[in-house]
Amino acid sequence: MGSMSLRFRNTLGGELQPFQPLEAGKVGLYTCGPTVYAPAHVGNFRSFVFADLLRRYLQWSGYSVTWVLNITDVDDKLIRRAAAEGLGITELADRYAERFREDMRLLGIGPPDVMPRATAHIDEMVALIRQLLERGHAYRTDDGSVFFSIDSWPAYGRLARLDPEQQRVGERVEADEYAKDDVRDFALWKGPKPGEPSWSTAIGEGRPGWHIECSAMSMKYLGASLDLHTGGIDLVFPHHEDEMAQSEAATGQRFVSVWMHCAHLRMGGQKMAKRTGNLALPEDVYAEGVPPRVLRYALLSTHYRTGPDFTEASLATAASSVERLSTVLLALDAYREEREDDLSLTPLLEEAHQAFRSHMDDDLNIAPALGAVFDLVRELNRRLADRGLSTADAARAADALRDLDRVLGVAEDRATPEVDAAVQHLLDLRVAARNERDWARSDALRAELAELGVTVEDTADGQRWRRSTEPVHG
Ligand SMILES: [Zn+2]
């Protein structure tokens, strides 16, 4: 069961609050997903890695989590891009949705329980818009559009803490493009236009606005009230402000208990290498020899509400941290020593577990939580070097570290990946060659394995191997 002291900072109100799920032991988590008109870049993935860290931590804490991450597959940018490439919107969306799934898999994100696509939920959006029309929170315009009436909803602006007199900035629809009653009002439904996709529905022909998509999909899968809603800080306004207004106006219930937003990465400028530039893609980073798990570590190792610098130095730090964690796991697995158990090990493991938990309970305070993990790694390395552990101790310590890595998902772990038969055969041949002291053959086999992406090392405890390009497991 979940910890009693778990607390999150709620963007709504800005306070640190004890986390109380609506239903004991269960959590509904909604994350605003990508608009699939182009590949998502590293900055986008920071917010998905954050949502995944939150999801993993909740599960590790004993909650049963339902995680919904949507795919926006119809919007202005996507329509323009599809037209420019001479593709249908579905074709373009399929291409980048597939790419997004693959990027998530490599980064150890999810998979989410549900990945709903907007165009498969037009009926739910229309039902919501009809409710808003009936309740007097929305109105139609001559071109077949429907707008949310901000004047009808005095609570508008609570999430972003807007000055009521403030004009809307960053609205997607140009003020002069549609005839709105109030410049602040936002489109729930956009009337049909030549050359744009549209649906024939009970509220007429047209297509949905962006914000209504997330209200319809989150409430369909998680209910009218949900526990957690995450996204990048840029989504607070107008997207989440609008989602909250239209959802609560339609249902009369509180939409979300806790809103959590993560800060932007501070990316390198034009002069930086491609892999740390403003629009770096994960594949640009991997192409320069950074494994996915190292990128994941770099994205999650700073508190989600602060913007980490994404630089060569932060990638180097991430690489050495992942290496330390992976190496101690390999060493613990290979370790054999006939001796009495180390009685101080159990308290050491428990202390690390408790420290990790108490920091993560504090609004996912990741930096000191990682500090607790690496304090433990340092202690274990010392005991391994002193041969102060028994074989059973080493196995217990490896289990404890793997348990913490269920939350982090960064360790390279040879226990997890499946070995194909060809690789296993070469590994076995190499062990045999070494037993026969045939060093030339052993070196030749090492080179052959390297060509298959498998790195072999020889240690006091025998041959160890790992893959250099494995996706993150866990
Ligand atoms: Zn959204």
- Of residues 454, 373, 380, the one with CA closest to residue 417: 454
Within 152-231, residue ranges assigned H as helices are 210-222
Q: 34 CA distance to ligand 1 centroid (A)? A: 9
| Res 273: pLDDT | 54
Amino acid at 109: I
What residue has token string 């030549």?
194
Reading across the β-sheet that carries 64-69, which strands appear in turn?
64-69, 26-31, 226-232, 256-262
**DSSP-based helix, strand, coil % in the chain, nearest 5:** 45, 15, 35
| Res 209: pLDDT | 94
Within 107-209, residue ranges assigned H as helices are 122-134
217 within 8 A of 121, measured Cβ to Cβ = yes
> Within a 10 A sphere around the Cβ of 76, how many other Cβ atoms?
16
Q: 12 CA distance to ligand 1 centroid (A)? A: 16
Q: 35 CA distance to ligand 1 centroid (A)? A: 10
Q: 48 CA distance to ligand 1 centroid (A)? A: 13
Rg (CA), the chain: 26
The H-or-E segment that residue 334 falls in is helix 312-334
| Res 459: pLDDT | 77
- Of residues 20, 9, 71, the one with CA closest to residue 261: 9
Q: Where does residue 440 rank: exposed (0-12), middle (13-18), buried (19+ CB within 10 A)?
A: exposed
Q: 110 CA distance to ligand 1 centroid (A)? A: 18
Q: 122 CA distance to ligand 1 centroid (A)? A: 15
Q: Give Cα 53 distance to the centre of its chain.
A: 7
CA distance 400 to 20: 28
CA distance 260 to 295: 22
Q: 365 CA distance to ligand 1 centroid (A)? A: 25
Q: 213 CA distance to ligand 1 centroid (A)? A: 7
Q: 413 CA distance to ligand 1 centroid (A)? A: 35
Amino acid at 228: L
| Res 416: pLDDT | 45
Q: Over the range 86-119, which residues count as b (16 or more CB within 10 Å of their CB) and which as e?
A: eeebeebbebbbebbeebbebbbbbebeebbbbb
Within 335-451, residue ranges assigned H as helices are 345-361, 366-385, 391-408, 421-435, 439-451
Q: Over the range 187-197, which residues count as b (16 or more CB within 10 Å of their CB) and which as e?
A: bbbbbbeeebb
- Of residues 72, 30, 64, the one with CA closest to residue 231: 30
Q: 212 CA distance to ligand 1 centroid (A)? A: 8
160 within 8 A of 241, measured Cβ to Cβ = yes
| Res 270: pLDDT | 43
Q: 224 CA distance to ligand 1 centroid (A)? A: 15
| Res 70: pLDDT | 98
| Res 420: pLDDT | 72
> Within a 10 A sphere around the Cβ of 261, how many other Cβ atoms?
21
Q: 5 CA distance to ligand 1 centroid (A)? A: 29
Q: Respond yes or no on whether the N-terminal peptide bond of residue 164 is cis (omega within 30° of 0).
A: no
Give the contacts of 26 (CB within 8 A, at least 6 positions apart): 63, 64, 65, 66
Task: Render each residue's pLDDT in the chain as its tens digit; 474 residues.
Answer: 444 699 999 999 999 999 999 999 999 999 999 999 999 999 999 999 999 999 999 999 999 999 999 999 999 999 999 999 999 999 999 999 999 999 999 999 999 999 999 999 999 999 999 999 999 999 999 999 999 999 999 999 999 998 765 545 444 444 445 567 788 899 999 999 998 999 999 999 999 999 999 999 999 999 999 999 999 999 999 999 999 999 999 999 999 999 999 998 887 654 445 677 777 899 999 998 999 999 999 999 999 999 888 888 999 999 999 999 999 999 999 999 999 999 999 999 999 999 999 999 999 999 999 999 999 999 999 999 999 999 999 999 999 999 999 999 999 876 545 567 778 888 888 988 988 889 999 999 999 888 888 888 887 777 878 776 555 543
CA distance 145 to 124: 17
CA distance 344 to 357: 20
Q: 130 CA distance to ligand 1 centroid (A)? A: 20
Amino acid at 57: Y
Q: 73 CA distance to ligand 1 centroid (A)? A: 12
Q: 240 CA distance to ligand 1 centroid (A)? A: 7
Q: 89 CA distance to ligand 1 centroid (A)? A: 19
62 within 8 A of 26, measured Cβ to Cβ = no
Q: 410 CA distance to ligand 1 centroid (A)? A: 28
Q: 355 CA distance to ligand 1 centroid (A)? A: 34
Q: 330 CA distance to ligand 1 centroid (A)? A: 41
Q: 295 CA distance to ligand 1 centroid (A)? A: 25
Q: 437 CA distance to ligand 1 centroid (A)? A: 62
The H-or-E segment that residue 13 falls in is none
| Res 453: pLDDT | 80
Q: 239 CA distance to ligand 1 centroid (A)? A: 7
Q: 374 CA distance to ligand 1 centroid (A)? A: 36
Q: Over the range 219-245, which residues count as b (16 or more CB within 10 Å of their CB) and which as e?
A: bbbbeebbbbbbbbeebbbbbbbbbbb
- The encoded tokens of residue 239 equal 């997207």
C-alpha dihedral sign at 375, 43, 75, 162: positive
> Within a 10 A sphere around the Cβ of 429, how many other Cβ atoms?
16
> Within a 10 A sphere around the Cβ of 202, how many other Cβ atoms?
9
Q: 238 CA distance to ligand 1 centroid (A)? A: 10
